[in-house]
Each structure stands twice: as structure tokens, then as C-alpha cells.
Amino acid sequence: MHLIRVVIMSFHPDKTEAFEKIFSEKYQLIHSFDGCVSVRLLHDVSRPGIYVTLSEWLSESHLEAYRKSTLFAETWTKTKALFNAPPQAFSLTASHFSDKQKNK
């Protein structure tokens, strides 16, 4: 069963551009990491400093391998310097899931 990792981050308003730059530079590397199925960056529409990453992993061991990697260490070190509050992170599994795409 796949694992969904959710990380909720709050940034200083003047640091959001720097975070988006870090994410855009590292996105493809994270996505191509062994076991990563998908990565999404979401931005809260009513709170400009709030971002959420959703990443899907083949297993918890794949996520842990990423979290122990140099890529994660470098990315997280740069990112956490921009926070204005501690991040919240948790992992989920889906008990029910539908991914229906409509043809246009």
C-alpha cells in the first residue's frame, strides 16, 4: 500500500519566493528518487505563507531512504531556514481512493 506524506509549512511572507525557487530546483530530483510516485506543492489561497507538500511513496522504507538522503538534507536545511513556525508532518495510507479523470 502506498504512503502519502503531508508536510504543512508556514513561511515568512518575504521568504515564499525563495521557497518556491528551492522547490522548483529540487522537484524533479525528488520526483525521480527511488520509490517516489508523485510530488505536489499546494499553496493556501487565503493564507499566503502556508504551503503543503503531498508526496506519494511506494512504501515507508522508500520514504525513509529519501529522508536519510543527501538530497533531503540539503533541501530541508535550506527550507527550514525560511519557516516562521514549526512544520507539521505526517504520513497517511488511503483506505478508499478514487482518481477519476474526465475526458474533455
Structural domains in the chain, CATH included, are 3-92 (3.30.70.100)
Nearest to 87 by CA among 34, 49, 57: 49
The pLDDT score that the predictor gives to residue 97 is 64
The pLDDT score that the predictor gives to residue 20 is 96
Contact by Cβ (8 Å): 36, 62: yes
Chain centroid to CA 5: 7
Supply the pTM of this predicted model: 0.87
The pLDDT score that the predictor gives to residue 95 is 72
- The number of beta carbons lying within 10 Å of the beta carbon of residue 62 is 18
The pLDDT score that the predictor gives to residue 102 is 58
Mean per-residue pLDDT pooled into runs of 10, the chain (104 residues): 94 95 96 96 95 96 97 96 96 75 54
The pLDDT score that the predictor gives to residue 1 is 76
